[in-house]
Amino acid sequence: MPRPQSDWISSLPRTRLLAEYSMWSADLIRLADDLIRITPHADILHVDVADGHFAPALLFFPDLVARLRAETALPIHVHLMVADAVLLSQIDQFAEAGADLISLHVENANAAEGLSRIAAHGVKAGMVLRVETPVAPAAPWLGRLDMLTLLGTAIGVKGQGLDASATARLQEAARLIAASGRRIVLAADGGIRDITVPLLRQAGAETVVMGSLAFGAPDLADRMRWLHGL
């Protein structure tokens, strides 16, 4: 399956909110069926990776990304929620499996080395901030990023409500990105509901990581028309 062009980030439209589909919310027994169902509607596939230490969850693995890569031309965004000790090896494995963008955490002590490793693979680089982490520490890294993701809920736990600080944090991040002069996609992840998405968009989010809001939609095409219209 053809991969997105190397400049796919710059080609993303700015005039509509983008849909980043979290494969964590797919039907894991019928993953291939769900992939076929969402492909006409998703802008980006989102694959969470957690080691049970940095985040309480335990998911996903490089072989899954390799199989997704073989079946879809959609950009694949891998979000690494892993301890410093395994960060670099995870970057290598997911880059080789076919990830188009790999995000690590600003809280990783070896984030600088991690971003260099991502760049060495020719993959787009992202950074994620936990909901309790101030936004300002992301500023020194913006020159090396293609995407900045702010978590709006506690890391690695599904089904939580949006934190009250989420919109203000997005606004602060949007100002930092504007000051950098770079094309950096601002993403919101966590607490994505029909009542919160308009607020996140208004605060500056360019893409939202959708779980049940997408996979549980009674009419996916209608849900995407609503989201893309924001």
Report, as residue numbers or ranges, the catalytic residues: 48, 189
State which H helix or E strand residue 221 sits in.
helix 220-228
Cα–Cα distance measured from residue 120 to residue 185, given in angstroms and rounded to the nearest whole number: 21
Angle, CA 7 vertex, CA 3 and CA 64 arms, to 5°: 35
**DSSP string of 117-152, one letter each residue:** HHHHTT-EEEEEE-TTS-SGGGGGGGGG-SEEEEES
**Under 8 Å between Cβ of 160 and 153:** yes
